[in-house]
A and B are shown apart, each in its own frame.
Chain A
């Protein structure tokens, strides 16, 4: 176990050798399960003996953790290293306003223990890495992937294949979700579907692209349903099927997933038999890591304070959140609308963080604009350094 891994296990209620049974109170608590033949006493006892690891306690992990705890899954492991911040509360329903600043793992464990004091909650306050993943995963029957970045997704996949554990997968972007089960014996794995991650910078992350708050609620709940079904062994699982959900169209679609015989991890002749360096594999793209750096002339917020001719390349819906009184041109429209700008005047391009506006400056310079500067750090830095009344997002 890596030295930065903190583990705390609450005492298990039933550690003895005696056959597992339900107490009178548990029978009442789970009565709506017990009266269904698909669950019944047999299924509920399976749930009580099940061990599920939830990787990530954010948008997907929230409904997942709550429903697994409510359903009586006997042992739930939580892995997260982050702290609750205000932008999480729009979708991460495990946390409330008073949790802002607390470690997520602590707030999540408190909430789940309150929801169901009869179950065991294990906490791993750490980033999942190639060094600790096998150690953390090995004690659990099922792994549920609720992370938000490609390196961790490939890490979880490979670790599950190596250990032979099902990986209940869910991922989201804006209004769209993908759900399936990887790593099941004879079923496909994540690399069968996507052999490689996108290169850095080509696909926006959730932090850049946004997400409808209820979307992870729906996708995480589907992951919970699939997890419970795997435990009780009933119904048709999503193994071999990729469920696509579009909340905007309110439409579910289903695609066939096949096991790739040439898969480097789960294929007939695997070339990857132990965990690798996933940051390197994914081109060192952490969740918030910047994309390709564009070196362009910059101006700091303080320097800009005195100057007023500004260009803004964000989207119209972002302009409504806050603006510095400039001229709004979304980056994608810049090539068509560059004529709206006066190349003889000094122009300062800005966006939210300074990244897209750097691309805008690069484009404008290549188009012959000589007096174009990028606002270093964007509106976020402007709010920090010049005008705190400008909202950040």
Chain B
């Protein structure tokens, strides 16, 4: 399946400065594997040392959180949008 992965601003420096990447994948796990094999530096930002998706990074297929679907095994359909949404803290200093 051809899917689009949206890269959030804080991770763009590790993804060739692109805001989105088109790739072929049948599941969310495959899409993220394809992404991190293309951009090796992204890996440590997405996964902890034990290989689990970091808890300050959420992944969505279209508008649904994969934690409430089948996580990495969530199937993708042609044209789906996979969004990586990390926590950001900016605002005022307090």
Chain A positions within 8 Å of B, measured between CB atoms, are 55-61, 79-82, 92, 127-128, 145-150, 152-153, 170-176, 178, 193-198, 202-206, 209, 211, 216, 242, 244, 246, 248-249, 253-258, 260, 287-288, 332
Say whether B88 contacts A176, CB under 8 Å.
Answer: yes
Q: In chain B, what residue has the closest Cβ to A145? A: B91
CA of A82 to CA of B41 in the docked complex: distance in angstroms?
36
Say whether A148 contacts B63, CB under 8 Å.
Answer: no
Measured CB to CB, the closest approach of chain A to B93, in angstroms, equals: 5
Say whether B9 contacts A195, CB under 8 Å.
Answer: no
A82-B93, A248-B9, A255-B83 known, 7 other contacts, Cβ within 8 Å: A147-B94, A171-B91, A176-B88, A194-B87, A209-B10, A242-B85, A253-B63
Chain B positions within 8 Å of A, measured between CB atoms, are 8-10, 13-14, 19, 41, 45, 54-56, 58, 60, 63-65, 67-68, 83, 85-94
Say whether B56 contacts A196, CB under 8 Å.
Answer: yes
Give which listed residue, B45, B68, B92, contacts A57 with CB less than 8 A: B92
Question: Which chain B residues border A205 with CB–CB below 8 Å?
Answer: 89-90
Say whether A203 contacts B92, CB under 8 Å.
Answer: no
Known contacts A198-B87, A332-B13; is-contact A146 B92 (Cβ 8 Å): yes
Give which listed residue, B8, B64, B86, B94, contacts A148 with CB less than 8 A: B94
Say whether B83 contacts A173, CB under 8 Å.
Answer: no
Question: Which chain B residues border A216 with CB–CB below 8 Å?
Answer: 90-91
Say whether A198 contacts B58, CB under 8 Å.
Answer: no
Measured CB to CB, the closest approach of chain B to A148, in angstroms, equals: 4
CA of A205 to CA of B41 in the docked complex: distance in angstroms?
19
CA of A174 to CA of B87 in the docked complex: distance in angstroms?
13
CA of A60 to CA of B88 in the docked complex: distance in angstroms?
14
Measured CB to CB, the closest approach of chain A to B2, in angstroms, equals: 20
CA of A313 to CA of B22 in the docked complex: distance in angstroms?
30
Say whether A171 contacts B85, CB under 8 Å.
Answer: no
Say whether A195 contacts B58, CB under 8 Å.
Answer: no
Q: In chain B, what residue has the closest Cβ to A176? A: B9
Question: Which chain A residues border B56 with CB–CB below 8 Å?
Answer: 194, 196-198, 203
Say whether A147 contacts B85, CB under 8 Å.
Answer: no
CA of A203 to CA of B56 in the docked complex: distance in angstroms?
10
Known contacts A173-B9, A202-B45, A204-B10; is-contact A244 B92 (Cβ 8 Å): no
CA of A170 to CA of B88 in the docked complex: distance in angstroms?
10
Question: Which chain B residues border A127 with CB–CB below 8 Å?
Answer: 94
Give which listed residue, A55, A209, A255, A332, contacts B60 with CB less than 8 A: A255
Measured CB to CB, the closest approach of chain A to B45, in angstroms, equals: 7
Say whether A80 contacts B91, CB under 8 Å.
Answer: no
Q: In chain B, what residue has the closest Cβ to A55? A: B94
Say whether A171 contacts B83, CB under 8 Å.
Answer: no
Say whether B8 contacts A56, CB under 8 Å.
Answer: no
CA of A242 to CA of B88 in the docked complex: distance in angstroms?
13
Say whether B10 contacts A256, CB under 8 Å.
Answer: no
Question: Which chain A residues border B60 with CB–CB below 8 Å?
Answer: 255
Say whether A58 contacts B10, CB under 8 Å.
Answer: no
Measured CB to CB, the closest approach of chain B to A325, in angstroms, equals: 26
Q: In chain B, what residue has the closest Cβ to A210? A: B90
Q: In chain A, what residue has the closest Cβ to B54? A: A198
Q: In chain B, what residue has the closest Cβ to A241? A: B63
CA of A288 to CA of B67 in the docked complex: distance in angstroms?
32
Say whether A172 contacts B94, CB under 8 Å.
Answer: no
CA of A350 to CA of B92 in the docked complex: distance in angstroms?
28
Q: In chain A, what residue has the closest Cβ to B12? A: A174
Say whether A203 contacts B10, CB under 8 Å.
Answer: yes
